[in-house]
């Protein structure tokens, strides 16, 4: 049996979903659309059921793409996701508004379980809800109370699911979808339905509403000055944590992969396959796993801030900053979502009704530093920025990371301002949002969020990183026939014959790599990137990371593993530090490192983001324009930074 989990946004629906399914979840898409579909299995006393978490919706009459998905599924019995029953999660503290959609679902005839969630919050607010009266109005519904954040109500929900009522019922209100086709008839029907709900008198307010702690906290956290200072401090703390605490598990993971590679080289039978394993696969997979601690820390904090209700305040205060730059109030959520990943950020721009505003938001969203940049940033920062503390507290590396995020935000705002001068649009829209009350975060929910993100990073990004590592290994291990001739020439040269055996091996490896297919291609493109301070190996890593930014690290790991297989015990950072150019200078100098960092702040190095922009704009024109202007900005900025610091 399929059960739909429905409700308004911000009612704790996802918390109920996590509570009921635990880790038995899969994330996919609703057929034909790019709206996330989470599903999982639940065990009631008598059955095992499939639970589908739908996007939050306010009404059966769709007003956004998310609601359209809900409407399409619920009004089409042939749809593959059409449910047999519904669990409706309502915020008990805002019951009347939440009952609008519930009453529509009731009238559509679904067997329905109404979960009055956040029951404790309603009581704290002094609200008295007459459940008996509610049951009289909706006799065919089953009603339970819950407080999913602290896992209260799980058994009640599971038991109630086995007792849902099928069959005929007296409708609460008229809902003939065949006649309610136009906006005006839908609005009239909705208003009349809301009036009827209000007139029942289900909720009695407490005589006076005292100023609660949430309101008191908001006075500080959304303050015109303190609000921003606190937010900056929160970000600084997160970046400090990423650098200070991730290094221990990262070093451990890195060490294990280096050891595995060395063990493979020593124990596997000599041949191509073992080289592919030790120089292509292991460094590639290691390049994915080594960044798991940092990704986990970043998403731990994001989930913590979201759970506590603080992230909504961030949206609120950022709205104030973005408005002078001409950004729509509704651009705030897409831009902030892009800090995790530009793809959901760009997709959430669908809520912006003015298409030009939406276009500007889509075009600037990838400037926000996403989590895929973290591996690149941290590798380069640890290479060229010393691990010193400012004032004994602030880690300089963390501060630089913070600066890179700030640079991305500033550029997104500046570009939006500039684009608004070119792309004419109507008045900026307004963003209405509800600020949820502050709550102590539930670490179970935080844990699930981190687990999901890490899983996506390992399996989605990981697969493409490994595939590219294997391809790079092949291109770096083979070359045109002239390679052998060059090798023979080397072997009779004076520099070779005078060298020690290990130096001879290094010379051979270096020549074989530079004469490989990838070496030839890299040397061909080197003149274009030399003004930025990059050699051909960096160029190859840069090019391959067009697939996804994180690939940069895996590519360097593979290229250096092939080019230097004399010492399998060296870590990538050490290999990069030791890398010298033909004139004996360090390749990864401060100028080159800073130039690379700036390049990655601005460049559109993400195939998946381009694909989403293409999908969302329904044309190739915008992704190609975006690729070009971000590429030009990245190139010019990297050039300036390198030339200034040289």
Partner 1 sequence: MQQFLVIALILLALGYFIWHVYQLFFAQQTNCKGCGLTPKHSNESDI
Q: Which helix (H) or strand (E) holds 537?
A: helix 536-544
Is the CB of 35 or the CB of 315 nearer to partner 1?
35
Of 521 and 622, nearer to partner 1 (C-beta) is: 622
Question: What distance in Å separates the CA atoms of residue 578 and residue 556, rounded to the nearest whole number?
Answer: 14
**What is the nearest approach in angstroms of partner 1 to the Cβ of residue 92?**
23
Name which of 275 and 483 has its Cβ closer to partner 1.
275
Q: How far is the CB of 625 from partner 1 (least distance, A)?
A: 13
For partner 1, the closer CB: 101 or 377 = 101
CB 12 within 8 Å of CB 91: yes
Interacting residues with partner 1 (CB under 8 A)? 29, 32-35, 58, 62-65, 67-68, 183, 271-273, 276, 350, 353, 355, 358-359, 429-430, 463-464, 466-468, 470-471, 474, 547, 607-608, 610-611, 614-619, 622
| Distance of closest approach, residue 272 Cβ to partner 1, in angstroms | 5
Parallel/antiparallel/unpaired status of strands 48-53 and 85-91: unpaired
Q: Smallest gap, in angstroms, from Cβ of residue 539 to partner 1?
A: 19
**260/471 with CB nearer partner 1:** 471
Q: To the nearest 10°, report the CA torsion of 71, 75, 78, 81.
A: 40
Q: Indicate the residue among 178 and 181 with the shorter CB distance to partner 1.
A: 181
Q: Return left, alpha or beta for 195; rule: phi > 0 is left, psi -120 to 50 is alpha, else beta.
A: alpha
- The least distance separating partner 1 from the CB of residue 269, rounded to whole angstroms, comes to 8
Q: Which is nearer to partner 1, 242 or 346 (CB)?
A: 346
Strand, coil or helix: 478? coil
User: What six digits make up the tokens of 216?
Assistant: 């008191």
Residue number with CB closer to partner 1 (20 or 372):
372
Concatenating the DSSP letter of every residue in 324-372 gives: GGT--GGGHHHHHHTTT-HHHHHHGGGG--SHHHHHHHHHHGGGSPPTT
Q: Looking at beta carbons only, is 226 or 355 nearer to partner 1?
A: 355
CB-CB neighbours of 225 under 10 Å: 7
Kindly give the pairing relationship between strand 2-7 and strand 25-29.
unpaired
Q: Identify which of residues 155 and 460 has a Cβ nearer to partner 1 in the complex.
A: 460
Could you tell me where the DSSP H helices lie in 396-461? 396-422, 443-456
The SS3 of residue 4 is strand
**Rounded to an integer, what is the distance from CA 257 to the centroid of its chain?**
26
Residue 357: CA atoms inside 13 Å, Cβ hemisphere, count?
25
CB of 460 to partner 1, least distance (A): 10
Q: Which is nearer to partner 1, 369 or 558 (CB)?
A: 558
User: Rounded to the nearest whole angstrom, what is the least distance from the CB of residue 461 to partner 1 in the complex?
Assistant: 11
CB of 611 to partner 1, least distance (A): 4
What are the tokens at 7?
């409700």
Contacts of 532 (CB under 8 A, 6+ apart): 592, 595, 596, 599, 635, 638, 639, 642
Give the residue with the Cβ less far from partner 1, 484 or 567. 484
Smallest gap from residue 274 Cβ to partner 1 (A): 8
Residue 92 CA to residue 116 CA, distance in Å, equals: 5
- Cβ closest to partner 1, residue 70 vs residue 594: 70
**Which CB sits closer to partner 1, 355 or 524?**
355
Query: How many whole angstroms separate alpha carbon 251 and alpha carbon 238?
Result: 19
Q: Which of 589, 573, 485, 581 is nearest to 537 (CA)?
A: 581
Give CA–CA dist 409/529, Å, rounded: 26
> Minimal distance in Å, beta carbon 362 to partner 1?
8
Could you tell me whether strands 2-7 and 85-91 are parallel, antiparallel, or unpaired per DSSP bridges? parallel
Rounded to whole angstroms, the Cα distance separating 274 from 565 reads 12
Q: How far is the CB of 473 from partner 1 (least distance, A)?
A: 8
Q: How far apart are the first and last CA of the chain?
A: 66
Among 368, 311, 307, smallest CA distance to 341 is for 368
CB of 548 vs partner 1, minimal distance in Å = 10
Residue 590 to residue 381: CA distance in whole angstroms: 9
DSSP assignments along 145-163, one per residue: E-BGGGTBTHHHHHHHHTT
Structural contact between residues 287 and 481, judged by C-beta atoms closer than 8 angstroms: no
Is residue 448 within 8 Å of residue 23, measured between CB atoms?
Answer: yes
| CB of residue 615 to partner 1, shortest distance in Å | 6
Residue 644 CB, nearest approach to partner 1 (Å): 37
């Amino acid at each position: 049996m399929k059960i739909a989990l429905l409700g308004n946004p911000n009612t704790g629906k996802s918390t109920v979903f996590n509570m009921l399914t635990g880790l038995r979840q899969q994330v996919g898409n609703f057929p034909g659309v790019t709206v996330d579909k989470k599903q999982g299995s639940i065990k009631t006393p008598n059955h095992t059921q499939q639970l589908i978490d739908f996007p939050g919706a306010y009404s059966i009459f769709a007003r956004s793409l998310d609601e359209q998905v809900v409407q399409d599924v619920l009004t089409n019995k042939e749809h593959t996701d059409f449910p047999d029953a519904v669990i409706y999660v309502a915020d008990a503290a805002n019951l009347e508004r939440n009952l609008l959609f519930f009453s529509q679902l009731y009238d559509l005839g679904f067997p329905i379980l109404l979960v009055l969630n956040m029951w404790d919050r309603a009581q704290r607010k002094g609200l008295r809800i007459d459940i008996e009266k509610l049951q009289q109005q909706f006799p065919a519904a089953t009603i339970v109370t819950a407080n999913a954040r602290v896992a209260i109500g799980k058994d009640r929900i599971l038991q109630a699911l086995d007792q849902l009522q099928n069959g005929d019922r007296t409708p609460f209100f008229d809902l003939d979808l065949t006649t309610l086709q136009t906006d005006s008839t839908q609005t009239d029907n909705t208003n009349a339905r809301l009036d009827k709900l209000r007139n029942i008198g289900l909720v009695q307010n407490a005589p006076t509403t005292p100023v609660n702690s949430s309101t008191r906290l908001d006075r500080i956290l959304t303050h015109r000055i303190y609000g921003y200072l606190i937010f900056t401090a929160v970000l600084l703390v997160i970046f400090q944590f990423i650098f200070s605490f991730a290094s221990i598990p990262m070093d451990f993971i890195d060490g294990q992969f280096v050891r595995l590679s060395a063990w493979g080289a020593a124990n596997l039978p000599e041949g191509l396959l073992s080289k592919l394993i030790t120089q292509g696969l292991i460094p590639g997979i290691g390049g994915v796993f080594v960044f798991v601690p940092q990704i986990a820390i970043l998403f731990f904090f994001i989930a913590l801030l979201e759970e506590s209700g603080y992230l909504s305040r961030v949206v609120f205060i950022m709205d104030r900053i973005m408005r002078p730059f001409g950004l729509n109030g509704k651009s705030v959520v897409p831009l902030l979502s892009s800090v995790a990943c530009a793809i959901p950020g760009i997709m959430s721009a669908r809520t912006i009704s003015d298409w030009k505003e939406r276009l500007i938001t889509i075009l600037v969203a990838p400037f926000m530093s996403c989590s895929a940049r973290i591996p690149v940033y941290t590798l380069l920062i640890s290479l060229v920025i010393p691990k010193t503390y400012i004032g004994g507290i602030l880690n300089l590396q963390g501060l630089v990371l913070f600066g890179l995020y700030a640079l991305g935000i500033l550029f997104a705002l500046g570009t939006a301002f500039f684009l608004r001068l070119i792309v004419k649009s109507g008045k900026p829209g307004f963003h209405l949002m509800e600020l949820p009350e502050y709550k102590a975060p539930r670490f179970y929910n935080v844990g699930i969020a981190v687990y999901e993100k890490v899983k996506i990073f390992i399996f989605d990004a990981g697969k493409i990183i490994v595939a590219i590592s294997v391809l790079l290994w092949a291109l770096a291990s083979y070359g045109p026939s002239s390679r052998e001739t060059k090798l023979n020439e080397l072997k009779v040269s004076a520099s070779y014959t005078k060298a020690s055996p290990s130096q001879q091996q290094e010379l051979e490896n270096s020549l074989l790599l530079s004469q490989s297919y990838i070496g030839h291609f890299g040397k061909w493109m080197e003149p274009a990137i030399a003004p930025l301070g990059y050699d051909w190996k960096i160029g190859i890593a840069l090019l391959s990371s067009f697939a996804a930014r994180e690939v940069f690290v895996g590519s360097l790991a593979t290229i250096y593993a092939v080019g230097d297989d004399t010492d399998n015990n060296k870590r990538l950072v050490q290999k990069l530090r030791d890398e010298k150019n033909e004139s004996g200078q360090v390749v990864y100098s401060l100028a080159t490192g800073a130039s690379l960092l700036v390049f990655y702040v601005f460049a559109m190095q993400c195939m998946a983001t381009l694909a989403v922009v293409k999908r969302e704009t329904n044309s190739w024109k915008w992704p190609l324009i975006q690729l070009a202007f971000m590429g030009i900005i990245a190139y010019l900025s990297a050039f300036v930074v390198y030339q200034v610091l040289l």
